[in-house]
Amino acid sequence: MILVTCEAGFIGSRIVQGHNQRGHTDILAVDDLTDGDKFVNLARSTIADYLDRDDFRLRLQANRLPRIDAVLHQGACSDTTERDGRYMLDNNYRVTLELFEFCQQQRIPFLYASSAAVYGAGPNYREDPSCEQPLNVYGYSKLLFDQVLRRHLRQLQAPVVGLRYFNVYGLGEQHKGRMASVALHNMQQYLREGHVRLFGGWDGYGNGEQKRDFISVDDVVDVNLHFLDRGGPSGVYNCGTGRAQPFNDIALAVVNTLRQEQQQEAASLEALVNEGAIRYIPFPDDLKGRYQSYTQADTTALRAAGYSAPFRDVATGVAEYVRAWCAAGNLA
C-alpha cells in the first residue's frame, strides 16, 4: 500500500491519479476535510482507505498504521503569507520529521514536498546551502527539514527524496484560493471580467516581466513517479523546468487559448494590452522585499539522478491546462 498525504489537495490528488492510471488503487489517503468542498479531488481518484490528518498523526506516533510500501508526503501549509510560525513549523516541519523517522524505522521509501521558497530572492537556484535564504517562515519550514535530510544522507535505512517544487499549475488547484497559480487566476479573471491583471513593473522588471519557473503538475507527477520507481537516489532536488518565463507569457497563453475556445483569433501581447485584455496594476507595497521576482531551477542534479524527460514550456502546458479546464465545464 502507498500512503499519500494531502490527497485531497492539488499535487497529492494528481499523484494518486497518476498511480490510478498505472492500475494501482491500493492507496491510503490522508487529509483534512474540514473544508468539505475539497472532496472533489478525492472523488476523481480511486483509493483503498482514507484517514483524517489528526487521526493519522496519532496512529503514526503510536506506530499503528497498516503495512506501507512507500510514502509520498505532500501535506503542508503552502500559504507563503502565513505569519504564524508555530503553526507553520509544526505542520510543515514536525509532521515531516515524524514521517521521516517512521519510514526510516520501517525501511520505507519516503518522498516529500519541499519548495523553491527556500531560495528566497535568489539569484541562484541550486541545491546548495550557499543559495538558500528564505524570505518567509513558509520557506524556512521547508528548508529546516531539507537540512535534516542532508545530515542523515550517509546513514539512511531507506531512500528519501525531497522535491523543491517551483511554480506548479494545472487541474486540481481550484480549492487553493489566493494561493492558486497565476494561470487559474488569469482564467477566472478573463471569463469574469474580460481581462486579466498582472503586477506592474518593480524590482528592475517591466510590466508583467517578473519571471518564474512555471511547471505543469503533469511534469511534477512524472518526476515523483520517476523517483518512486527508481528508489532514489536519495537527496534534495529541484522540481522545475530550468526555464524562467515572464508572467506575460502565462497571460498570453491563457487569453489566447480561451479566445480560441470561444472561436476567436489569437492576438499578440501588444495587441491584447492595447485592447485592455491584459492590464497591469501597481506592485503591492506589502509584497516588496518578500517576493520572488525571478526563479529558475538549476536542473543539473535532477538530470544527474536520471530524470531525462522534457518539460513543457508555458505555451504548451498552460494551453493544455486551459483546454482541460474548459472541457470540465468551466467555460460556460
C-alpha cell at 251: 497571460
Out of 50, 176, 280, 291, which one is annotated catalytic?
Answer: 176
Q: Give the DSSP H or E segment for 162.
A: strand 160-165
Nearest Cα to 254, choosing from 297, 208, 303? Answer: 208
> What letter does residue 93 receive in the DSSP assignment?
I
CB 111 within 8 A of CB 224: yes
Nearest Cα to 202, choosing from 273, 283, 287, 286? Answer: 283
Is 142 catalytic? The answer is no
CB 199 within 8 A of CB 281: yes
Edge-to-edge, what's the strand order for the sheet holding 160-165? 49-52, 27-31, 2-5, 70-73, 110-115, 160-165, 235-239
CA dist list (Å): 181 to 57, 187, 264: 29, 10, 25
Burial zone of 331 (CB within 10 Å; 0-12 exposed, 13-18 middle, 19+ buried): middle
Is 169 catalytic? The answer is no
Out of 93, 112, 125, 138, which one is annotated catalytic?
Answer: 138
CB 23 within 8 A of CB 15: no
- Active site residues per annotation: 138, 176
